[in-house]
């Protein structure tokens, strides 16, 4: 559809540019010759701008498809696919599990906490494996168990995450290590477990849940923001290695940047977030629709200009951060125990 729009715009622009000046604008409008010519020039620039946007969209889609011209969806049969979702017992993770099973996908949840009532589990499509994702040995044991029960997964959604609402000087080493272990290092453990089989089959999808905090570090959330920014580098490196080291551009990689979402992770500050809060079900639907579309890419689910913030003048960056400095406050010792 984007290509068709681009061709139509290009044709209109060429026609307008090569038409005689007397036909440069609609003759039915009650405009003088000078104003008609001005309108024609404005239309040219508008059409040119639209064409640039369409070309940019096409290039983005091509890049996200690993520079391949085709995207074969026929290899995905959703009632025969198997997904692993970390942190799938509550919040966004639970909503993702429900969305996947609605398409017939079998799901294994890896979480340290039992499945909550939010997970719609009739026992046929959802299985649970209690796992401390900060432990390499625990991840390996859980992976071996679920492979024995169901085979190797074709979809890995690294969603598990925790947060501290604490200033840098107040955060204990134990809490810091736990957060970094779960929010960032666990991605290495799960990918090391499940990616080799995807590479062997030249089919798979690895999705990571980052955060808008990966673009903006806030007072009281430095540890959380640092891990979410780290996931950006992890995602980019994984994508590059799949293309250039393992020669598997067919394997999809996606990274998701949710905005403030109504989960237990931010329960202590939800009142001051007000209308900014998104529902887990809405975030999960976008994530799973992306998987069902068999696409790679980045899903920015907040202000679309946020990824560009680092390229703006320093004074503007600081004003944005200053405006958000009051949001992240709370009890770090309780918040860290709550997975997203």
- For residue range 238-265, list pLDDT tens digits in order: 999 999 999 999 999 999 999 877 666 6
Classify burial at 252, counting beta carbons within 10 Å of its beta carbon; exposed 0-12, middle 13-18, buried 19 or more: buried
Contact 297, 340 (CB under 8 A): no
Structure tokens at 272: 């001051």
pLDDT at 315 (0 to 100): 93
pLDDT score of 286: 96
The residue among 82, 119, 74, 73 whose CA lies nearest residue 104 is: 82
Gap between the Cα atoms of 26 and 69, Å rounded: 39
Structure tokens at 249: 């551009």
Contact 190, 133 (CB under 8 A): yes
Three-class secondary structure of residue 252 per DSSP: strand
The pairing of beta strand 106-111 with beta strand 82-86 = parallel
pLDDT in the model for residue 294? 95
Q: Could you tell me the pTM of the whole model?
A: 0.83
Average pLDDT of the chain is 85
- CA-CA distance, 174 to 114, in Å (whole number)? 23
* Residue whose C-alpha is closest to residue 183's, from 133, 147, 126: 133
Q: Do 249 and 242 meet the contact criterion of CB atoms below 8 Å apart?
A: yes
Cite the active site residues. 224, 228
Please return the burial class of 116, using the count of CB atoms within 10 Å of its CB with bins 0-12, 13-18 and 19+: middle
Mean pLDDT of successive 10-residue segments in the chain (340 residues)?
56 54 50 68 79 84 80 88 97 96 97 94 92 98 97 97 88 94 98 98 97 89 94 97 96 92 63 70 96 95 87 92 78 39
| Closest C-alpha among 146, 256, 244, 233 to residue 197 | 146
Give pLDDT, residue 23: 47
Q: What is residue 11's predicted lDDT score, i.e. its pLDDT?
A: 59
Six token digits for residue 219: 């007072």
Give the integer Cα–Cα distance in Å for 60 and 146.
Answer: 36
CATH classification code of 78-335: 3.40.50.720
Domain boundaries, the chain: 2-64, 78-335
CA-based radius of gyration for the chain: 24
For residue 276, give Cα distances in angstroms to 166, 212, 213, 259, 327.
22, 13, 14, 8, 12
């Amino acid at each position: 559809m984007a290509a068709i729009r681009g061709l139509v715009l290009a044709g209109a622009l060429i026609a307008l540019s090569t038409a005689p000046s007397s036909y440069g604008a609609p003759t039915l409008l009650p405009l003088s010759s000078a104003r008609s010519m001005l309108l024609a020039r404005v239309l040219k620039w508008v059409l040119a701008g639209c064409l640039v946007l369409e070309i940019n969209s096409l290039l983005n889609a091509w890049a996200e498809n690993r520079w391949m011209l085709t995207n074969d969806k026929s290899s995905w049969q959703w009632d025969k696919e198997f997904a692993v979702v970390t942190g799938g017992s509550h919040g966004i993770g639970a909503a993702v599990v429900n969305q996947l099973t609605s398409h017939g996908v079998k799901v294994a949840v890896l979480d340290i906490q039992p499945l909550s009532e939010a997970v719609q589990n009739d026992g046929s499509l959802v299985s649970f494996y209690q796992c401390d994702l900060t432990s390499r040995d625990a991840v390996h044991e859980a992976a071996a168990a679920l492979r024995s029960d169901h085979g190797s997964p074709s979809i890995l959604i690294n969603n598990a995450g925790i947060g501290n609402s604490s200033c840098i000087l107040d955060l204990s080493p134990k809490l810091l290590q736990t957060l970094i272990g779960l929010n960032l290092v666990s991605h290495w453990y799960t990918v090391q477990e499940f990616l080799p089989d995807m590479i062997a089959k030249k089919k798979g999808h690895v999705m990571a849940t980052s955060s808008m905090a990966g673009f903006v570090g806030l007072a009281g959330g430095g540890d959380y923001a640092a891990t979410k920014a780290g996931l950006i580098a992890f995602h980019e490196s994984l994508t590059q290695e799949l293309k250039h080291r393992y020669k598997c551009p067919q394997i999809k990689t996606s990274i998701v940047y949710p905005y403030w979402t109504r989960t237990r992770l931010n329960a202590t500050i939800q009142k001051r977030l007000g209308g900014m809060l998104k529902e887990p079900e809405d975030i999960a639907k976008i994530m799973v629709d992306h998987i069902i579309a068999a696409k790679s890419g980045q899903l920015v689910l907040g202000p679309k200009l946020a990824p560009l913030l680092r390229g703006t003048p320093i004074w503007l960056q600081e004003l944005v951060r200053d405006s958000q400095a009051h949001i992240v406050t709370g009890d770090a010792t309780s918040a860290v125990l709550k997975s997203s």
